[in-house]
Structure formats: structure tokens, C-alpha cells
A = this chain, B = another copy of it.
Amino acid sequence: MNIGEVAKAAGLPVKTIRYYEEIGLVRPTRSENGYRVFAEADLHKLNFLGRSRALGFSIGDCRALLALYEDETRSSSEVREIAERHLANIEGKIADLQSLRDTLAHLVASCAGDARPDCPILDNLSGD
């Protein structure tokens, strides 16, 4: 398969796949004309990467997950650890954002949002 075909099949942009090759996540061969040639295994890897990224795993995590996936002697605890760390991370982000949201919601609610210049939002930002 050429890159366009594999991109469509994996649901990833062509550019992204080239980038993944550049950082060593996939290693397509090359045909005589210099075009990348992807095997089924490469497509499988790209699907794996697409799903991992969609779950928010960093490229580093994806690399580790892929290595574990290909390591028959892995222990599931290694995988789980990565996922747990990521989960904790996400929960932290959610908490941060919720706190931001609450603050912002209060500020927005307190602001008339009309033609007058008085604005509790600006008052708050400027230190009350």
C-alpha cells in the first residue's frame, strides 16, 4: 500500500504517518521509485497508534504501549501502569478545568454584558 491508501485505511493524515515514520513509530519499506510501501502489519500499527492517540496517550506512551503489544513476554501490569498514570493525569486536568469553569461561570454571571463599561470580570482580573 502507498501512503495515501494506508492513511485512508487508518484514518490518519498522510502528514502524520510521515511524521510517525520520522520518529520511528513505523518503518515502511520503499519501492524503487522511492514511494513508501506499507504492509498489513504497518496498517495494524497505525490503527493501534490512532486509537492510542485518540485516548490521549502521549507519543512516548504510544511507543511504550506498542512495544508492550509486540512483546509476548510482557506483563499486563506494565500496560496497566501506563494507563493508570494517564488516567490520573486526565483526572487532574478535569479537576483543574472544573475549578476554572466554576470561577469563570461566576464571573460571567456577574457581568451585565451590556453597553456600560462596568465589568466585574475586569475588576477581578485587575485584583478587585
Tell me, in angstroms, the Cα distance from A104 to B126 when the chains sit together: 40
Within 8 Å of chain B (Cβ to Cβ): is A68?
Answer: yes
From 53 to 84 in chain A, residues with beta carbon under 8 angstroms from any chain B beta carbon are 55-56, 65, 68-69, 71-77, 79-81, 83-84
Q: How many copies does the complex hold?
A: 2
**Is A51 touching B93 in the complex (CB atoms < 8 A)?**
no
Within 8 Å of chain B (Cβ to Cβ): is A21?
Answer: no
Residue from A81, A83, A127 having most chain B Cβ neighbours under 10 A: A83
**Is B84 touching A108 in the complex (CB atoms < 8 A)?**
yes
Known: A104-B87, A107-B83. A76 touches B126 (CB 8 A): no
A48 to chain B minimum Cβ distance, whole angstroms, is: 5
Tell me, in angstroms, the Cα distance from A83 to B56 when the chains sit together: 27
Contacts of A33 in B (CB 8 A): none
